[in-house]
Structure 1
Amino acid sequence: MSPAPAPPSPRTRTLKVCGATSTRDIAVLATAGADLAGLWHGVPGGPAELPEREVAALAAAARATGVLHPVLVTFLSDTHALSGVLARTGIGTVQLHAYQRPSTVRALRTALPDAVIIKVLHVTGNTCLERPLLGAYEQAGTDLFLIDATTPDGRVGSTGQCLSEDTVLDLADRFTLPFWLAGGLNPANRSDHERVLHHPRLHGIDVDTAARGGDGRIAGPAVTRLARVWGT
């Protein structure tokens, strides 16, 4: 078995593809140029929601590729439950993709000091709901922020909504951590984010819909094109 890859350095622009649900998806991502596979658990009603046993199996498959790193994407806020899932699945990176408070981050950092904790920042229009808490999230032990768009009705995660470059840059100026960019990213709108791509703390991009083919499944050519166009 190949050794598990180390999490990509925050100095390296990475490509994370969310919503893998099968070993076939993992194989496609590993050969097409992705760095991280987002595995959904604790996302009620989510189209890519997986039971814990499947998360564990796909995380192991990702590590076995030697190039792909699994990320648990979750709405969970119960630190005890979340720590248990991470321990049992062997996943070392968690993306808190809901409105978990800084106290959740702090408790998770205490329980899992070696984990990589990513906190999503939800932006509706030009407004980030977590903006008043940015400093608290940093002090609590967050490693990375992920800037993502929500819909006007409050839907979060894989919304396909785009963010303006000015909104992203204004928000990034208000914290000091590395960050990922999400929100309707695709090969055609790369030029709309040129200044963000040159930001010294941009860690990578996070996509879902743009990595899929017409059948809705993760597609190798789509992932490869994303990696090439976005320079990951």
Structure 2
Amino acid sequence: MPADTRVKICGLTRPQDVEALVAAKAAYGGLVFFPKSPRAVSIEQARALAVAFPPELASVGLFVDPDDALLEAVMAEVPLSILQLHGKETPERVSELRARYGLPVMKAVGVASAEDLPALADYGRVADMLLVDAKAPKDAVLPGGNGLAFDWRLIAGRRWPVPWMLAGGLTPENVRDAIALTGARQVDVSSGVESAPGVKDADAIARFVAAATA
């Protein structure tokens, strides 16, 4: 398994979460700007967290179908490295925001069956990175962070025009198997390293990163 696997820990809410990511040598830290999420942070909270990121830790802002007002407010205050779009944004919207802010855009695509795979190719033509996630149930409040996995065999051996990241139901216990099966070089976790919704566990973060990069 490649030792250069890059790990994203999403849904940071406290200063000690940033410290845990730095100690574990994660590559990305995610800040959630979606009020319905138990991991949502205010602009003020996000700024305080993001300014503490060292240069080697990329700050990712997660948005779900954001309007321009929210984006402008966040971008004016929070130093972000990457925009993550986790809603039903169209390829045109992805291109628009990428051009407007001059930042790399990661587009999340939910996967439950082979019918969901063509969308990855569509977004791969306009985004800088893809997040291949488990599709949320129809009645789910959250588009991600539900602790659900999909059948990893659906994407085994597949490649897209841009780098991609595997998400959905990953834990310190299964991430090595997920990487081995899919060939993922980047992985994303949120609920899988929490002691409660929105409360990150430093020991679980350390174990997750260690397992992913072993």
TM-score normalised according to structure 1 size: 0.79
Q: Which residue in the other structure is 2:163 paired with?
A: 178
- Give structure 1 stretches of 5+ with no counterpart: 1-11
Q: Does 1:16 align with 2:8?
A: yes
Q: Which residue in the other structure is 1:159 paired with?
A: 146
8 A Cα contact 2:20 2:206, kept in partner? no
Number of positions where the alignment pairs a residue of Structure 1 with one of Structure 2:
209
Percent identity of equivalent pairs? 26
Distance between the aligned counterparts of 1:227 and 1:134, measured in 2?
26
8 A Cα contact 2:11 2:198, kept in partner? no
Q: Which residue in the other structure is 2:26 paired with?
A: 34
Q: Which residue in the other structure is 1:139 paired with?
A: 125
What's the CA shift for 1:83? 4.6
Q: Which runs of 4+ in 1 moved over 6 A?
A: none
Q: Which residue in the other structure is 1:104 paired with?
A: 93
Q: 1:168 aligns with which of 123, 143, 155?
A: 155
8 A Cα contact 2:179 2:185, kept in partner? no
Distance between the aligned counterparts of 1:72 and 1:157, measured in 2?
14
Distance between the aligned counterparts of 1:203 and 1:147, measured in 2?
12
Distance between the aligned counterparts of 1:209 and 1:132, measured in 2?
27
What's the CA shift for 1:25? 1.4
SS of alignment partner, residue 30 of structure 2: strand
Q: Which residue in the other structure is 1:6 paired with?
A: none
Q: Does 1:44 align with 2:41?
A: no
8 A Cα contact 2:9 2:188, kept in partner? yes
Distance between the aligned counterparts of 1:136 and 1:191, measured in 2?
28
Query: Which structure has more RCO (C-alpha within 8 Å, separation ≥ 6)?
Result: 2
What's the CA shift for 1:35? 2.0
- Give structure 2 stretches of 5+ with no counterpart: none
Q: Which residue in the other structure is 2:111 paired with?
A: 123
TM-score normalised according to structure 2 size: 0.85
8 A Cα contact 1:40 1:49, kept in partner? yes
Q: How well do the aligned residues superpose, as a CA RMSD in angstroms?
A: 2.5
CA distance 1:86–1:139, shift in 2 (3 Å): same
Distance between the aligned counterparts of 1:84 and 1:139, measured in 2?
28
Q: Does 1:78 align with 2:70?
A: no
CA distance 1:47–1:181, shift in 2 (3 Å): same
Q: 1:210 aligns with which of 189, 192, 196?
A: 192
8 A Cα contact 2:21 2:29, kept in partner? yes
What's the CA shift for 1:215? 8.6
